[in-house]
Amino acid sequence: MAHPIFRWIDCTDPTRPRDLGRPGDTKLRLAQLTDPHVPGEVALMSRLRDLMGHRGSIWDFSHEIGAITNELGHRYRNKRRLYTNLLMKALMGLHQLEVDHLLITGDLSHCSLPTEFLEIRAALEVTGWWGDEKLTVIPGNHDRFNLYENRPKQPMEAFFDVVGPREPRLKILDGGVALVEVDTNRDRVHDRHPTEKWLPNTVGKIYQEVPDWFDAEHISLKGMRVLALVHHHISSDWYTERVSGLGGLMLPAEGRDEMLEALELVDPHALVLHGHKHDVMAVNYQWMSHPVSCPGGFAEALTLNLIDVNLNDEMVLTQIALRP
């Protein structure tokens, strides 16, 4: 029988029926949602006045153009209430699927504005997903560095408990499943990428502190199933390179090979979950020895991942889509 909220897309286990119900041998069910990009209410006319009265450098002018383009480019910009309802519909549906823990791999906000963080936090609270035991969130580039950076604002940490830069954070879930949270945003003070003149933190970076952390923790993590949560993508052979790929703007995160090699010593088949690219990755995709998955940007694809960990510590991944 078809599920009323979600539809089945694909699964890494070809023998499993197209049934979204929780299998009996599942000891932990996770769900991944990425890049919701909750839109805010930025006064566009104010931005246009800033542009018309511009007196700065050509880079500042490009920054203003980028800010306006970013705001206008959101699919649901003029349908904010509809979008929040779609998001809440998906979050409520995850309870029906008996999900234990929700993972959001970055870009919760569209412009890193307090109103956007409050909007998605409220949606999570109302639908029963708020709390460390139910929810893990990592920052995306839209959450950390926004195109309105010249205006003072509160950081993401004022609204969500998220991992800090460079050093990963560990969360152990029931059943011996380890979540490793990694902030793949670049250090914009000491290591700012040239593209940040137009697109803040589009190109991610995994710093040496991350593989060093895995090397230091590999004994304590031995025998656990590991899920590494990053925002920026780590490979490029699974999506069509469009205009955004010109000039290296959407290249994989730097330092990905070093992280994966260190991760392999901990769990040779650790699952890597990411977002950033709004393309939907094939469900059985692998990079090196690791299964990797990106369900696409929620605002565009309206897709999610279910990850079932069974009693034999095998992980089965199922892609699902929100019914319109």
DSSP letter for each residue of 153-176: ---GGGTS----SSS-EEEEETTT
Q: Model's pTM, two decimal places?
A: 0.89
Q: Answer positive or negative: Cα dihedral of 322, 146, 113, 274.
A: positive
Phi, psi of 287 (to 5 degrees): -130, 125
Closest CA to 143 of 271, 276, 316: 276
pLDDT value of residue 76: 66
Residue 247 has φ and ψ, to the nearest 5°, of 75, 10
pLDDT at 59: 46
Nearest-10 Cα torsion for 302, 303, 306, 307: -120
Question: With contact defined as beta carbons under 8 Å apart, do 117 and 108 qualify?
Answer: yes
DSSP string covering 101-157: EEEEES--BSS--HHHHHHHHHHHHHTT--STTTEEEE--HHHHS-TTTTS----GG
Mean pLDDT, contiguous 10-residue spans, the chain (324 residues):
91 94 97 93 54 51 52 64 92 98 96 90 98 96 72 86 94 95 88 66 89 94 95 92 56 94 94 95 95 92 96 97 91
Predicted pLDDT of residue 246: 45
Rg of the chain (C-alpha set): 19
**pLDDT for position 324:** 78
- Measured distance CA(324)–CA(310) in Å, rounded: 31
Q: Give the pLDDT of residue 42.
A: 57
Q: Which amino acid is at 293?
A: S
231, 107 contact by CB (below 8 A): yes
CA distance 277 to 288: 19
Interatomic CA distance for residues 324 and 321, integer angstroms: 9
For domain 6-39+79-322, give the fold.
Purple Acid Phosphatase; chain A, domain 2 (3.60.21)
What residue spans define the domains of the chain? Answer: 6-39+79-322
- The predicted pLDDT at position 243 comes to 46
Q: What is the pLDDT of residue 56?
A: 55
